[in-house]
Amino acid sequence: MSERDHVTGLESRGALEAFFEAHFRAQGGRAGPAEDLAMVMCDVIGLKEINARDGFAAGDAWLRRAAGRLQAAAADAATVARLGGDELVAVFTGTAAAAAAARAAATIAAGADLPLRAAATSWQPGESAAMVIDRLYATVRRC
């Protein structure tokens, strides 16, 4: 049974980690040429300020809207999850994973109705799940 985030309805971080573990097992311990893997992350700009000014219910509403935007932009993703805080992630697999993640990031960033930033990255040989997530955090923070 998959775990759901109680605010966004997306998969939880635990479910995302289980997805990565299953993916790695299927790939013999790492992502490789047999199946590419790419991710897009988006976050709500100023969520802390929204929570402080308007309350947590308002912040949760922004998170739900961001989750909806990510789901729409990443309809063909293998999984979509709330990583934590204001970070939401979609994971794409297959030979077109990098292109799909880049398109999703561009779609998310182009929307002017939500204060979101988004970035995409592809898995690199030898990286662990933690390493690619750390790199993705750093990339989205520079947007």
Q: Are 77 and 85 in contact (CB under 8 A)?
A: no
Provide the 8-state DSSP code for 12. P
Say which residues have a Cβ less than 8 Å from residue 121's Cβ, sequence separation at least 6: 38, 39, 101, 132, 135, 136, 139
Phi, psi of 108 (to 5 degrees): -65, -45
Catalytic residue among 36, 43, 86, 134: 86
43 a catalytic residue: no
Catalytic residue set: 86
